[in-house]
Chain A
Amino acid sequence: MTVEDQSDRFPEGMRVLAVDDDPTCLKFLEGLLRKCKYHVTTTNQAIKALEMLRENRDKYDLVISDVNMPDMDGFKLLELLGLEMDLPVIMLSGYSDTELVMKGISHGACDYLLKPVRIEELKNIWQHVIRKKKLEPKDQNKSSNQGKACNGTGECVRGASPTGSADQNGKLNKKRKDQNGDEEEESEDDEHENEESSSQKKPRVVWSVELHRKFVAAVKQLGVERAVPKKILDLMGVEALSRENVASHLQKYRQYLKRLSSGIVASLGGKESSYVRMGVLDGFGDLHSLTRSGRLSSTALPSYTSGGMLHRLNSPAGLSRGGITSSGLVPPGHSQNFSNYINTFSKFQPTVPADQSPNLFQATPASLELNQLQRSKCTTHTGKPYADNDPTSYAASSRFQDSGVSCSTLPSDSDFSSNALMLQGIPQQKHGMGVFGNQPSLKVSYDSGISGSSNFLDYNRCSESFQGGAQLSTFPSNSLPMSEPFIHSQLLASNLGVSSSRPQMGNTLNDFSSVSALSAPVDELRGSIQNQEGLIGDVVPTINYTPTQRWEEHKRDYDHDWSQTFRTINSLGSTLGVDGLVSQSLDQNDAVCNYERNSSLFDQLNGATATVMQPSEADNSFVETKMKPNEDYFLEQTKSPNGFVQNSYESLNDIMSTIMKREQNDENMLLDAEFGFDAYTLGSCI
């Protein structure tokens, strides 16, 4: 059966992946789906499902997953899928609690069905595939796509049938903004691709951090509103990139920005993921970090690249935006971090930070973790941990806002997250973060991502340690494999957690030096994060909203700072930019954290870790460099921690080495490439 046939008969032949740990239910579901004439693939393990999807996302049009699964929480899987693959996912559960359904929605589920499932309900699920296809390409593309692509089957088919290919194409071709001469070609290509799904697809463009950075810079230069793919492409000056690639990327970016500004957490996760996916997925298809078993790490958190973290991370928008909004988590502890973070955050500004973010993210495998953590943590802990800590607790979105950067230490995102976090945290000085205090505005950025995670990580700890960048450190270990966006969110989350762990370190922002201490907390965080899966998700959403607004406001301000910082970092950084990022964001704390996190997230980032590690030496200098541009912001904050900062650097180095060792033992550290994912990732995490 060729794709054409399938598309002609759509919804017949729609490829569904069913996931349910209960064999009886799975078989029953399979039977029902077969009866609906869908093409069914089943697996009773969420992890296996992720692998299958990562291996070839285009092989499936829709995923149906149970909520309660032993190896991974269904919501977590949902998030990851949304971020990484932008596939429509339907949740299945025996529980009909409103909150669960709500959770499903916020995590990006297309639908929520109750068990036992009825065939009537399954007969209509194809609508989600179509809907998603229609929504993705914005108007421009849609009409042209539809017009051209129709193989006589109409839009639906085109959109729906070669889901995989369409999606992929969509990414590349969907928005045919610059249609002019390309339309014909594109449509043909599209159709062609649609018809021959896998074989003739254009190679998917991997939106690496570098690429994304250029993209964001170009967009910024042109102005978000006036940016057109052609011009962006010209500005970027990347040979291998086509206008279609840019067009679809731009579309996603815009969606991301919109999401950030509208503060729709749920969408953040989803959209970001697609956005992020673009960049991240390609690179990190295997990020498995997210497999954290269903910790839903809160919708906000971008999917962990590993498991889905990448998705989130990838979407720069997500990172900056998502993470930031909720960020507040930026670990207050690290004054240095803050500066870094702040820098990062400022960068994250939807338009501007995006550029920067990618850099940051790259370096922050940790952020990924954070994201994860955040995700997971958010859901469950959303408000709990913070209750006590207040300053640290991310949970309270309000908190974040104050603390803004709570995440400061979010090393994971290394640049991004930390910055974002930092920024976020900075404003939070109220809480005692000292560092944050100065930067109330910053808060907006990362927290969203990270805060979510931090919350979870250490609820208890957060309150105190908030300041400690330690929080961030915890994240890294956790899971943030997700690309940057996640990291941030994660970082945020982790921040929370980190902060809690901070107490060990010495609490308060002045704990930058605690970097070394971070290592320890990181481990703790890891543990906590792992358990908390859902928390982040929840937390993040809350956080994100508020911070977002802040972000927007401060964006401008920070943009400049961040840009500088980023540039500096980038130049300083190694290829991955991780180095630069690393130094930037975390001052090494992040790096440290990142490493920690890497364990989970970094599968993909493996490379990154190594890279990140190296700069430790450079970081110190780098950090200092960075600090300069942000002097305004950071100086204040760093003043006190100055001493710490320095200390932290040293400790960072130590930590780095420790981490490095750890990394080596860890499985894939996502670090490298992953981090780079994109600024998106971070944002998307949220």
Chain B
Amino acid sequence: MERTHMRRQVGLMRQSLFTQGFLDEQFIQLEELQDDANPNFVEEIATLYYCDSSKSLQTIEQALEKTPHDFNKLDNHMHQFKGSSSSIGAKKVKDECQQFREYCKAGNREGCMRTFQLLKKEHATLKKKLEAYFQMARQAGPLETASRPK
């Protein structure tokens, strides 16, 4: 019972991540890749993402602090960041990345700074949510992680 309840919780949590737009289809692809051979694939890749993306964000932040802004470089960094974010299905983060790039193309410094702050926020939020999700999933049992949103 407890188990079932937990599983349901995990399921709901997962569902909400999708409905709230934190995650997208890509995340499901990741889940599909998880199997017996790779039982913690999703969590592993998410961990990897957060480890790597923090560095990227730092780089971008540093670049943003320099003036004048080298939009090209910023765009390149962001493209890279966007790539990895979309690889794990971090939807909101990806959207902010896109917005950032738009501002870069327009040479809008203010816009870039603003968007970057939002991006960091989204990035942190998702991280917390995913951590909670994974933790609960672990407790509930491995099956949950592979379930699809209903």
Residues of A within 8 A of B (CB): 22-25, 27-28, 31-32, 34-35, 68, 94-95, 115-116, 118-119
Minimum C-beta distance from A117 to chain B (A):
9
A-B contacts, 29 listed (Cβ < 8 Å): A22-B80, A22-B84, A23-B48, A23-B52, A24-B45, A24-B52, A24-B87, A24-B88, A25-B83, A25-B84, A27-B45, A27-B48, A28-B30, A31-B30, A31-B33, A31-B41, A31-B45, A32-B29, A34-B38, A68-B79, A68-B80, A94-B79, A94-B80, A94-B82, A94-B83, A94-B86, A115-B83, A115-B86, A118-B29
Instruction: Report the Cα distance A118→B49, complex, angstroms.
Output: 18
> Is A22 a contact partner of B86 (Cβ separation < 8 A)?
no
- Tell me the chain B residues, 76-95 only, with Cβ under 8 Å from chain A: 76, 79-80, 82-84, 86-88
In the complex, what residue of chain B is closest to A28 when comparing beta carbons?
B87
Q: Is B131 an interface residue (CB 8 A)?
A: no
Q: Is B1 an interface residue (CB 8 A)?
A: no
Instruction: Report the Cα distance A437→B80, complex, angstroms.
Output: 49
Instruction: Report the Cα distance A381→B37, complex, angstroms.
Output: 47
Number of A-B contacts (CB under 8 A): 60
Instruction: Report the Cα distance A32→B26, complex, angstroms.
Output: 12
Residues of B within 8 A of A115 (CB): 83, 86-87
> Is B86 a contact partner of A116 (Cβ separation < 8 A)?
yes
Residues of B within 8 A of A68 (CB): 76, 79-80
Residues of B within 8 A of A (CB): 26, 29-30, 32-33, 37-38, 41, 44-45, 48-49, 51-53, 76, 79-80, 82-84, 86-88
Minimum C-beta distance from B24 to chain A (A):
10
In the complex, what residue of chain B is closest to A33 when comparing beta carbons?
B33
Q: Given A28-B88, A115-B87, A116-B86, A95 and B30 touching (CB < 8 A)? A: no
Instruction: Report the Cα distance A24→B30, complex, angstroms.
Output: 11
Residues of A within 8 A of B49 (CB): 24
Residues of A within 8 A of B44 (CB): 27
Contacts A23-B52, A35-B33, A94-B79 known; list 15 others, CB within 8 Å.
A22-B52, A24-B45, A24-B88, A25-B87, A27-B44, A27-B48, A28-B87, A68-B76, A94-B82, A94-B83, A115-B87, A116-B26, A116-B29, A116-B83, A118-B29
> Is A24 a contact partner of B53 (Cβ separation < 8 A)?
yes
> Is B32 a contact partner of A35 (Cβ separation < 8 A)?
yes
Residues of A within 8 A of B32 (CB): 35, 119
Instruction: Report the Cα distance A24→B54, complex, angstroms.
Output: 12
Residues of A within 8 A of B84 (CB): 22-25
Q: Given A31-B41, A31-B45, A116-B26, A22 and B33 touching (CB < 8 A)? A: no
Minimum C-beta distance from B145 to chain A (A):
14
Residues of B within 8 A of A116 (CB): 26, 29, 83, 86-87
Instruction: Report the Cα distance A119→B53, complex, angstroms.
Output: 24
Interface residues of A: mostly helix, strand, loop or mixed?
Answer: helix
Minimum C-beta distance from B32 to chain A (A):
7
Kindly identify which residue among A22, A34, A119 contacts B29, using a CB–CB cutoff of 8 Å.
A119
Instruction: Report the Cα distance A24→B26, complex, angstroms.
Output: 13
User: Which of B51, B82, B83 lies at the interface centre, i.e. has the most chain A CB atoms within 10 A of its CB?
Assistant: B83
In the complex, what residue of chain A is closest to B46 when comparing beta carbons?
A24
User: Nearest 6 pairs between A and B by C-beta?
Assistant: A24-B84, A31-B33, A94-B83, A24-B49, A28-B87, A25-B87
Residues of B within 8 A of A23 (CB): 48, 51-52, 84
Instruction: Report the Cα distance A118→B33, complex, angstroms.
Output: 12
Instruction: Report the Cα distance A22→B84, complex, angstroms.
Output: 7
Residues of A within 8 A of B45 (CB): 24, 27-28, 31
Q: Given A22-B80, A23-B52, A27-B44, A32 and B33 touching (CB < 8 A)? A: yes
In the complex, what residue of chain B is closest to A68 when comparing beta carbons?
B80
In the complex, what residue of chain B is closest to A95 when comparing beta carbons?
B79
Residues of A within 8 A of B79 (CB): 68, 94-95
Residues of B within 8 A of A22 (CB): 52, 80, 83-84, 87
Instruction: Report the Cα distance A223→B49, complex, angstroms.
Output: 60
Residues of B within 8 A of A95 (CB): 79
Kindly identify which residue among A24, A32, A94, A118 contacts B48, using a CB–CB cutoff of 8 Å.
A24
Instruction: Report the Cα distance A94→B97, complex, angstroms.
Output: 13
Instruction: Report the Cα distance A234→B132, complex, angstroms.
Output: 75
> Is B38 a contact partner of A31 (Cβ separation < 8 A)?
yes
Instruction: Report the Cα distance A116→B53, complex, angstroms.
Output: 16
Residues of A within 8 A of B37 (CB): 34
Instruction: Report the Cα distance A224→B112, complex, angstroms.
Output: 62
In the complex, what residue of chain B is closest to A118 when comparing beta carbons?
B29
Instruction: Report the Cα distance A349→B25, complex, angstroms.
Output: 56
Instruction: Report the Cα distance A28→B37, complex, angstroms.
Output: 15
Instruction: Report the Cα distance A94→B52, complex, angstroms.
Output: 17
User: Which of B29, B30, B88 lies at the interface centre, i.e. has the most chain A CB atoms within 10 A of its CB?
Assistant: B29
Instruction: Report the Cα distance A24→B48, complex, angstroms.
Output: 6
> Is A34 a contact partner of B26 (Cβ separation < 8 A)?
no
Instruction: Report the Cα distance A32→B79, complex, angstroms.
Output: 22
Minimum C-beta distance from B23 to chain A (A):
13
Minimum C-beta distance from A199 to chain B (A):
28
Residues of A within 8 A of B88 (CB): 24, 28
Minimum C-beta distance from A587 to chain B (A):
43
Minimum C-beta distance from B87 to chain A (A):
5
In the complex, what residue of chain A is closest to B81 when comparing beta carbons?
A22
Residues of A within 8 A of B82 (CB): 94
Instruction: Report the Cα distance A31→B41, complex, angstroms.
Output: 8
Minimum C-beta distance from A166 to chain B (A):
28
Minimum C-beta distance from A193 to chain B (A):
31
User: Which of A25, A34, A95, A119 lies at the interface centre, i.e. has the most chain B CB atoms within 10 A of its CB?
Assistant: A25
Minimum C-beta distance from A100 to chain B (A):
12
In the complex, what residue of chain B is closest to A93 when comparing beta carbons?
B83
Residues of B within 8 A of A31 (CB): 30, 33, 38, 41, 45
In the complex, what residue of chain A is closest to B51 when comparing beta carbons?
A23
> Is B33 a contact partner of A34 (Cβ separation < 8 A)?
yes
Instruction: Report the Cα distance A27→B50, complex, angstroms.
Output: 13
Residues of B within 8 A of A25 (CB): 83-84, 87
Minimum C-beta distance from A528 to chain B (A):
20
Minimum C-beta distance from B73 to chain A (A):
13
Instruction: Report the Cα distance A59→B87, complex, angstroms.
Output: 28
In the complex, what residue of chain A is closest to B89 when comparing beta carbons?
A116
Residues of B within 8 A of A28 (CB): 30, 33, 45, 87-88
Residues of A within 8 A of B38 (CB): 31, 34
Instruction: Report the Cα distance A27→B29, complex, angstroms.
Output: 13
Instruction: Report the Cα distance A116→B30, complex, angstroms.
Output: 11
Instruction: Report the Cα distance A144→B49, complex, angstroms.
Output: 50
Instruction: Report the Cα distance A116→B84, complex, angstroms.
Output: 8
Residues of A within 8 A of B86 (CB): 94, 115-116
In the complex, what residue of chain A is closest to B34 when comparing beta carbons?
A31
In the complex, what residue of chain A is closest to B38 when comparing beta carbons?
A31
Minimum C-beta distance from B91 to chain A (A):
12
Instruction: Report the Cα distance A418→B33, complex, angstroms.
Output: 54
Instruction: Report the Cα distance A18→B21, complex, angstroms.
Output: 31
User: Which of A31, A32, A68 lies at the interface centre, i.e. has the most chain B CB atoms within 10 A of its CB?
Assistant: A31
Instruction: Report the Cα distance A583→B32, complex, angstroms.
Output: 63
Instruction: Report the Cα distance A32→B88, complex, angstroms.
Output: 12
Minimum C-beta distance from A152 to chain B (A):
29
Instruction: Report the Cα distance A119→B31, complex, angstroms.
Output: 13
